[in-house]
Structure 1
Amino acid sequence: MSQTPRPARPGLKKLAIVLWSVLGVVLVVAAIGAIVGGDEEQEPAAAEQELTDEQRAEAQERAGIPPEPDAETAAAYVAALEAIDPDIVHGKIEKVVDRGRSQCQTIGSYPDDREHQLAQAEVRFSSPDHPEGFGPEVAEQILDITHAHICPTY
Structure 2
Amino acid sequence: MSKSSKTKQMIGALEYGSMPELGISNLVMRVDTGAATSSLHVDNIEEFERDNERWIRFDIHPDIHDVARKVRCESKVLSQKKIKSSTADRQRRYVINTRLQMGTRSWKIKLTLTDRSEMTYLMLLGRQAMVGKFYVDPEYEFILPAQS
Structure possessing the higher relative contact order (Cα contacts under 8 Å, 6 or more residues apart): 2
TM bucket (normalised to shorter chain) is under 0.3
Structure with the larger helix share: 1
TM-score using structure 1 length:
0.26
Rg (Cα) greater in structure: 1
Judging by fraction of residues, say which structure has more strand.
2
